[in-house]
Structure 1
Amino acid sequence: MTSTQDATGAPVAKATMMIRRPAADVFAAFVDPAITTKFWFSRGSEPLRPGGTAQWFWDWYGVSTTVRVLDFEPGARLRVEWGDAARKTVVEWTFTALSPERTYVRVVESGFQGDDKAVVASALDSTGGFNLTLAGAKAWLEHGVQLGLVPDHVPEDARHLA
């Protein structure tokens, strides 16, 4: 079992998945919006690069965010800051090559703001979201199938039910 808290005891969102593709390919899928749009967001302003910023859009939800790259180690690690001024968090992806064709991806989001209830709710929501994202990435990278997990998670005509 993995920890759901950071070193200070604050809740974090965490998701993991083994993807049967080389680490360089899996890393590229998270930095190049031409690939990422196949399994996560609807569009991105530009590829992520060291020290750069980009805008990511989830058009089906009317949501966007600015992503600022903090660390960029091709094929190994990506760390970004995202969110609005009052709710910035840090997301770190690590890409561990288990073999030349198998990569273990670990995503951890930390720094949630608010009272205890809000922090836990945000961490749980992000945990679910990152698990959907990794499952979608696995389907796309291994099989070329777009599952539509993120837009179908809460479609517009079912939002009142969520």
Structure 2
Amino acid sequence: MSSDTYVEAQMLIRKPVEDVFEAFINPEITTNFWFTKSTGKLEEDKTITWEWEMYGVKSDVKIHQIVPNQLIKTEWGNPAVQVDYEFKKMEKGTLVVIKSYGFSQTGEDLLKVINDNTGGFTTVLDGCKAYLEHGINLRLIEDKFPQK
């Protein structure tokens, strides 16, 4: 598979771009729709750790670039991939586009990773929309793979 393979998920969130951007850099907000713990707010050239306590999973996240209210460029996962979060002001709110790329897998393994990334980031965006627009934590990440 070529190196330009990428996964993209997007969602219009009917809130101002400043609010949506803040939801992705501020773990006090993000923990309401994605991971359960973070070692800090996203800051350029820092590495923070996100944790999903219900699954016993952690991931170190390197923040490469932040353009306020426009772009967050990160690298995370095992094996690590690039994940960009783009924010575009629209008439009805903010379009968020999450793009991941730089996959090292090939063949069936690559297809599985692409499927997991697409589903995962779509779930994150769905949860973000519900939380920011309606104040509801749908517990989507927690319930995606119920333990029992």
Common fold, TM-score beyond 0.5? yes
Q: TM-score, normalised by structure 2?
A: 0.95
Question: Is contact 2:17-2:94 (8 Å) kept?
Answer: yes
**Corresponding residue for residue 93 of structure 1:** 85
2:20 is aligned, of 11, 26, 30, to: 26
1:117 is aligned, of 93, 105, 108, to: 108
Q: TM-score, normalised by structure 1?
A: 0.87
2:44 is aligned, of 25, 43, 50, to: 50
Distance in 1, matches of 2:42 and 2:134, equals: 24
Distance in 2, matches of 1:117 and 1:125, equals: 12
Equivalent runs, 1:78-89 vs 2, <5 Å: 78-84=72-78, 87-89=79-81
Distance in 2, matches of 1:114 and 1:131, equals: 21
**Corresponding residue for residue 137 of structure 1:** 128
- Deviation (angstroms), 1:83: 2.0
- Deviation (angstroms), 1:11: 3.2
- Note the residue ranges of structure 2 that are not aligned, 5 or more in a row: none
- Structure-2 change in CA distance of 1:68 and 1:145 (3 Å): same
- Deviation (angstroms), 1:113: 1.7
- Note the residue ranges of structure 1 that are not aligned, 5 or more in a row: 158-162
Instruction: Give the % identical residues.
Output: 35
Question: Is contact 1:38-1:146 (8 Å) kept?
Answer: yes
Distance in 2, matches of 1:144 and 1:54, equals: 26
Number of equivalences = 148
Question: Is contact 2:3-2:102 (8 Å) kept?
Answer: no
